[in-house]
A and B are shown apart, each in its own frame.
Chain A
Amino acid sequence: MDLIEMRDVKKHFPIYSGILPKVVGHIKAVDGISLSIEQNEVLGLIGESGCGKTTLGKVALRLLDPSEGSIFFEGIDIAKKKHDDLLSFKKKTQIIFQDAHSSLDPRSSIGLSVEEPLRTHKMFQDRAKRKERVVELLEEVGLESEHYDRYPHEFSGGQKQRICIARALALDPKFVVADEPVSSLDVSVRAQILNLLKDLQAKYHLSILYISHDISGVKYISNRVAIMYLGKIVELADQNEIFKNPCHPYTKVLLSSVPVPDPETREEVKLLKGEVPSPIDPPKACRFHPRCDCCTPECKEREPELRRIKKGHFVRCLSFKDLG
């Protein structure tokens, strides 16, 4: 069963202008996305900067209120619930941010930071037991109990991200949004954190929405992969399928940009022309058509649907048939 299901979720940020602020337009960060994540599944979400992937992650956790659409978590629509009624939902969901440094309060000790979820949800009321649990969590993510009283600036980037993971796991969540958790880390540390996330995912049967623009990281950790372009999903398939058989022209370009560690197999790197269009006024019809190699006249007139082309493989492209 799906743990979380988003149906036609939209998030439009109004743009104000003038002396007496007036809405002059909307940034369509997320523009009609339907996605579902099963229990114990890692869904990788890949997209360029500014395509709305972080916004989608925040909307999924109701850190931002969706403009439209519904979000079902364990069968209950949480999209329009009041914030006061979301406590039990927030207990089961968590987020790991890209920048571990700024997501830890510089004036709170590590123990205090990791303890916060327990305090908020009134678990382990007994101080000694609470501390025991925090130490247990710290050890789980590869830190030591003596780190309990230290402050964030005393840790390295990787350690800080470990602390954030410990905090996210404190409440035994079911669903975690990992918003580029390794992007700000050194390459050597990146692998460690990815491995840690993967191990913890398997151990706790977590469902993870893994947001990233690092394709190899997504390939390593995800079961399924969604490709996002300008607020919409353009392709969605199982991990094996999408890397073996990418169908959308955008996916193809993206995947060809990943360096291959073998000088013999020199594939031609496809380059995209132009810049990402503005999400304020996205191109009509197919959003990718101004940059697409195989754009047909039809692409400029009709907006493609997310079509199913195989079991579990969906593509939003009109010219896909022709590509064979």
Chain B
Amino acid sequence: MQKREILDFFTKNRSMSVGISILLIYLIAAIFAPLLSPHDPYEQNLDVRLSGPSREYPFGTDQFGRCVFSRILYGARISITIGIAAVLFGLIIGSGLGIIAGYRGGLTDLVLMRLMDVLMSIPALILALAVVAALGRSIPNMILAIGINALPLFARLSRSSVLSIRTMEYIEASEAIGTNSFNIIRYHVFKNCFSPLLIFSTLHTASAILMAAALSFLGLGVPPPTAEWGLMTAEARVYLRQAPYLVIFPSMVILVLVLGFNLIGDRLRDMLDPKLRF
């Protein structure tokens, strides 16, 4: 029964299946990068620098003669890690703050949400630049920089769902039973505001990956020679005329991954909304 339902689900949800397939391919690429890549991503081979796609080098080679295909495979590890970690950071801390603000109300709500407004008032990329510039270029700092940007979004979203859940009678029933606030949040509030958060997380992972690429492109992401998509695009910019594939392939890879996350997120929204449930 259960198995059938899952199978049914995928045949009925094309966009979801496409999204999940894309994500799976990327995950496999990231996990098995050492097995799948034809070359060492950091090995320079100056004899074949800036050569176009060939059998030996499927996506060509860059200005140092490194295999672009291998670098893209390894880059998936970094991009996916940053995307997911930054969103998890935002999800856990941001929605935690939002739930507390929404549930407690009053002064707590006021202080927390004004803090979030301050974060929100700074343009995302500038805030991320500031964080990376202050803390230095490294992967954890990038995660932090992108995660901080996600904080107010998650906080606002969870707060608004908590506000509507708060007034439900089942919360009052729990209060009448004597359940303490922590357990009410754990058993009732969290469960009921989880689906919008989940949808937003998948959609936001795409933006997080884009932002990571943008940061690297601007030279404030991971330091070279790390294989990272944004950084690869940035470095290849100079050779756009001689070797356009150096920009095209990493950009395509980013585009497809973002598309995959968006497909999943969009469909999840429809599925988890009880009014639209099939």
Does A15 have its Cβ within 8 Å of any Cβ on chain B? no
Q: Which residues of A contact B175 (CB under 8 A)?
A: 63
CA distance A104 to B176 in the complex (A): 13
How far is A63 from B188 in the complex, measured between Cα atoms in Å?
18
> Considering the chains assembled together, what is the distance between the CA atoms of A53 and B219 in angstroms?
67
Quick one: which of B48-98 are within 8 Å of A by CB?
none
Asked if B176 and A116 make an inter-chain contact with CB atoms under 8 angstroms apart, the answer reads no
> Is B169 touching A90 in the complex (CB atoms < 8 A)?
no
Given the interface pairs A99-B169, A103-B169, A105-B170, the reply to whether A94 lies near B176 with Cβ below 8 Å is: yes
Q: Name the interface residues of A275-314: CB closer than 8 Å to any CB of B.
A: none
Q: Is the CB of B187 within 8 A of A97?
A: no
Q: Is the CB of A97 within 8 A of B191?
A: no
Please state if A90 and B178 are interface contacts (CB–CB under 8 Å). Answer: yes
8 Å CB interface, B191-207 against A? 191-192
Q: Does B160 contact A (CB under 8 A)?
A: no
Contact A107 B178 (CB under 8 A): no
CB-based contact B177/A63 at 8 Å:
no
Residue pair B178, A121 in contact (C-beta under 8 Å): yes
Provide the main secondary structure of the chain B interface: helix
- Bound complex: CA of A86 vs CA of B192, how far in Å? 27
A61 within 8 A of B: yes
CB nearest to B181 among chain A residues: A83
Instruction: Give every chain A residue within 8 A of B176 (Cβ-Cβ).
Output: 61, 63, 90, 93-95
- B108 cross-chain contacts in A, Cβ below 8 A: none
Q: Are A97 and B192 CB-contacts (below 8 A) given A116-B179, A120-B183? A: no
CB distance from B173 to the nearest CB of A (A): 5
A265 sits at the interface (CB 8 A): no
Q: How far is the CA of A167 from the CA of B169 in the complex (A)?
A: 14
**Smallest distance from the beta carbon of B123 to chain A beta carbons, Å?**
30
Bound complex: CA A63 to CA B183 (Å): 17
B40 sits at the interface (CB 8 A) = no
Instruction: Using known A-B contacts A116-B177, A117-B177, A120-B177, determine if residue A108 contacts B191 with beta carbons closer than 8 Å.
Output: yes
The answer, yes or no, to whether A91 is at the interface (CB within 8 Å) is yes
Interface residues on B, range: 10 to 19
Please tell me if the beta carbons of A107 and B183 are within 8 angstroms of each other in the complex.
no
Contact A105 B178 (CB under 8 A): no
* In the bound complex, CA of A121 to CA of B177 (Å): 9
Q: How far is the CB of B277 from chain A (nearest CB, A)?
A: 10
Determine if B134 is an interface residue (Cβ-Cβ < 8 Å): no
Q: Which of A86, A107, A167 sits near B191, CB closer than 8 Å?
A: A107
State A108–B192 Cα separation when bound (angstroms): 9
* Alpha-carbon distance A87/B177, docked complex (angstroms): 8
Whole-angstrom distance between the Cβ of A90 and the nearest chain B Cβ: 3
B173 touches A167 (CB 8 A): yes
A102 at the interface (CB under 8 A from B): yes
B interface footprint on A92-120 (CB within 8 Å = 1, 0 otherwise): 01110101001111111000110011011
Chain A's interface size range is: 20 to 34
Interface string of B150-178 (1 = CB under 8 A from A): 00000000000000000011101111111
Which among B169, B174, B177, B183 has the greatest number of chain A C-beta atoms within 10 A?
B177
A106-B192, A108-B187 known; A120-B173 Cβ under 8 A? no
A-B contact count (CB 8 A): 61
Using Cβ atoms and an 8 Å threshold, which residues of chain B touch A105? Answer: 170, 187-188, 191-192
Q: Which chain A residue lies CB-closest to B180?
A: A120
Q: Are A102 and B174 in contact (CB under 8 A)?
A: no
For window 173-189 of chain A, which residues contact chain B by CB distance below 8 Å?
none
CB distance from A11 to the nearest CB of B (A): 16
Min CB gap A278→B, angstroms: 23
Q: How many angstroms between the C-alpha atoms of A87 and B178 in the bound complex?
A: 6
- The one of A93, A108, A167 that contacts B188, using a Cβ cutoff of 8 Å: A108
Contact A91 B188 (CB under 8 A): no
Question: Nearest A residue to B195 by beta-carbon distance?
Answer: A107
Closest to A170 in B: B177
* B170, A104: Cβ atoms closer than 8 Å: yes
**How far is B187's CA from A164's CA once the two chains are assembled, in angstroms?**
17
A58 to chain B, nearest CB (A): 8
B contact residues around A91 at 8 Å (CB): 178
Q: How many angstroms between the C-alpha atoms of A103 and B176 in the bound complex?
A: 11
When chains A and B are docked, how far (Å) is the Cα of A60 from the Cα of B115?
39
Enumerate chain A residues within 8 angstroms of B173, measured Cβ to Cβ. Answer: 95, 97, 103-104, 164, 167
List A contacts of B192 (CB < 8 A): 105-107
B60 CB to nearest chain A CB (Å): 51
- In the complex, what distance in Å separates the CA atom of A121 from the CA atom of B168? 22
A103-B169, A104-B170 given; A94·B177 CB < 8 A: yes
> CA A91 – CA B179 in complex, angstroms?
10
Question: How distant is the Cα of A119 from the Cα of B176 in the complex, in angstroms?
Answer: 14
- Per-position contact with B for A47-90: 1 when CB-CB < 8 Å, else 0? 00000000000000101000000000000000000000011001
- Asked whether A116 and B187 contact (CB < 8 A) given A91-B178, A106-B192, A107-B192, the answer is yes
Residues in chain B near residue A112, CB distance under 8 A:
187
Q: Is the CB of A103 within 8 A of B170?
A: yes
Q: Check B172–A103 contact: CB distance below 8 A.
A: yes
A319→B79 CA distance, assembly (Å): 83
Closest A-B pairs by Cβ, 8 of them: A90-B178, A103-B169, A107-B191, A102-B169, A105-B170, A120-B179, A95-B176, A117-B177
The 7 sampled A-B contact pairs (Cβ below 8 Å) are A86-B178, A90-B178, A102-B168, A105-B187, A105-B191, A116-B177, A120-B180
Chain B residues near A (Cβ < 8 Å): 168-170, 172-180, 183, 187-188, 191-192
